[in-house]
Structure 1
Amino acid sequence: MKSKGTAYLLWLISIFGWLGFHHFYLGKIGKGIIWILTGGVFGIGALVDLFTLGGDVERHNTNEELKTIRTASMANAVSGQKK
């Protein structure tokens, strides 16, 4: 599970989002590289991230939780077929 506090701290220490450290934290490597090369898409993307970062963290955590549930569900289905 990723933390909103950590994500916002990384946004802050990456020169108010310009270096995109928060994207790397959330596993968005490509977007992080774009942020580094363009200065947070010339600062506009970094500013937008200030308002959308909380939702991005929640979305990431939800997706990870769903992957875990699906994996457990598939494992149960396979073990049920073997009996």
Structure 2
Amino acid sequence: MVKNKWVSFFLCLFLGVFGIHKFYEGRMLLGIVYLFTMGLFGIGVIIDLVILLFKPNPYYP
């Protein structure tokens, strides 16, 4: 399914520590990991923000 990178980016920016952007992408298991580790202790959220900036729009997760 096609996803909008800006929706995912802003979900990550504001709710990334809860893994909401991973649930939006359909990656349920990784979303649960982010939820219980607070975004992989914040480092995962920062990495995801940088990666999302370089993804094409729309993209396929």
Taking structure 1 as the reference length, what is the TM-score of the superposition? 0.61
CA shift for structure 1 position 13: 2.3
Structure 1 residue 10 and structure 2 residue 15: aligned?
A: no
Root-mean-square deviation (CA, aligned residues, Å) is 1.9
* More helix per residue: 1
Give 1:40's aligned amino acid.
G
**Structure 2: gaps of 5 or more residues:** none
| Deviating 4+ runs (over 4 angstroms) | none
Match of 1:50 in 2: 49
Give 2:5's aligned amino acid.
K
**Structure 1: gaps of 5 or more residues:** 61-83
CA distance in 2, matches of 1:8, 1:59: 14
Kindly name which structure, 1 or 2, has the bigger radius of gyration based on alpha carbons. 1
**Greater RCO, 1 or 2 (C-alpha within 8 Å, sep 6+):** 2
% same residue:
36
